[in-house]
Amino acid sequence: MKASKSVAGLALLTLWGCSSTPPPEPESRYQMKQDRPPAQAPDLSHLEPLQPRYEPLSRGGNRDYQVWGIHYEVLDSAEGYIKEGIASWYGAKFHGHLTSNGETYDMYSFSAAHRSLPLPTYARVTNLENDKSLIVRINDRGPFHPDREIDLSYAAAWHLGVLKSGTARVRVEAIHLAPEPTPRPPEPSETFYIQLAASTDRSNVDRLKRQIQGETSLPARVTLQDSLYKLQLGPFADRQESQRWLETLKASGYNQAFTVTAPTLSPAKSSAR
């Protein structure tokens, strides 16, 4: 649950959005030296709001880390996290590059960067200056200005009215989602049959099967279990139905018949219809 040093470095290099003094970085990492909005931004008004859902923690980006000699601790849980602070945003410079948890930054999605919340975390961000609110998915580390609370994606900043001013005072409320409990497997339902005979001689059982099929419309099957061929009628919907038929069969001379409950057994060859 802790990121490698390379992830910490990645956070340093990718999450400086809208910074006045960007950190030093390799010349080959980005095509742009300064962050900026996209040259031709699409219409963002039709973006669907995020629906928070439980996600397991990412393999990357969830260890404590250091940036410029400052130690940052990653919270074990987002539960109960509410804080107010300054939001900034980051855009075209980082678009298409890796986030701290190994995903790809998309400035047209509702995402964000945070220094300490687990990755990923869904959070409601409210612009306290205009009361606009939006749910974002935090998948990155930053911002590393001490007075800033969160870095918004370009799309999130657009919807919250932060682009023009560059920063805004916001409230961040983490949305804690517990995993759904694993559903219990359904209890095995009982299957009811009426057993008429059991024999090691298959021919005797088949003869009785033909006889009973001439007398009743009940389905019959022959199963092989423990070296015995068993002739069974059914299955029946419930015990009451099997009991009614059992009484009818006994009245017809099948005195040895009895009700059994069993899972579906491997049918013997030429088993019944």
157 and 255 belong to one structural domain: no
- Residue-wise pLDDT tens for the chain (273 aa)? 333 333 333 333 333 344 333 444 444 455 667 777 787 777 888 899 999 999 999 999 999 999 989 999 999 999 999 999 999 999 988 898 999 999 999 999 999 999 999 999 999 999 999 999 999 999 999 999 888 999 999 999 999 999 999 999 999 999 999 888 888 777 667 788 999 988 899 998 999 999 888 888 889 999 888 888 999 998 888 888 889 998 988 888 888 888 988 654 444 544 444
Q: Give the CATH number of the domain where residue 56 resides.
A: 2.40.40.10
**Is there a domain that residue 234 lies in?**
yes
Closest among 177, 172, 140 to 56, alpha carbons compared: 177
Residue position matching structure tokens 């298409």: 96
pLDDT above 70: percentage of residues in the chain: 82
Closest among 3, 148, 6, 8 to 66, alpha carbons compared: 8
127 and 167 belong to one structural domain: yes
**Is there a domain that residue 216 lies in?**
yes
Structural domain total, the chain: 2
**Is there a domain that residue 271 lies in?**
no
**Is there a domain that residue 104 lies in?**
yes
- DSSP strand pairing (258-261 vs 192-199): antiparallel
Contacts of 209 (CB under 8 A, 6+ apart): 220, 222, 231, 272
138 and 222 belong to one structural domain: no
151 and 243 belong to one structural domain: no
24 and 114 belong to one structural domain: yes
**Is there a domain that residue 28 lies in?**
yes
Last residue of a domain, one of 119, 140, 175: 175
**Is there a domain that residue 82 lies in?**
yes
Q: Which two tokens stand for residue 9?
A: 């470095």
Q: Is the overall model pTM greater than 0.85, yes or no?
A: no
33 and 148 belong to one structural domain: yes
pLDDT digits (tens, 9 = 90+) for 19-65: 333 444 444 455 667 777 787 777 888 899 999 999 999 999 999 99
Q: Which domain holds residue 89?
A: 5-175
- Other C-beta atoms lying within 10 Å of the C-beta of residue 79: 12
pLDDT digits (tens, 9 = 90+) for 119-147: 999 999 999 999 999 999 999 999 998 88
171 and 196 belong to one structural domain: no
51 and 132 belong to one structural domain: yes
Last residue of a domain, one of 131, 147, 175: 175
Q: Hey, is 212 helix, strand or coil?
A: helix
Helix (H) or strand (E) holding 245: helix 239-251
**Is there a domain that residue 185 lies in?**
no
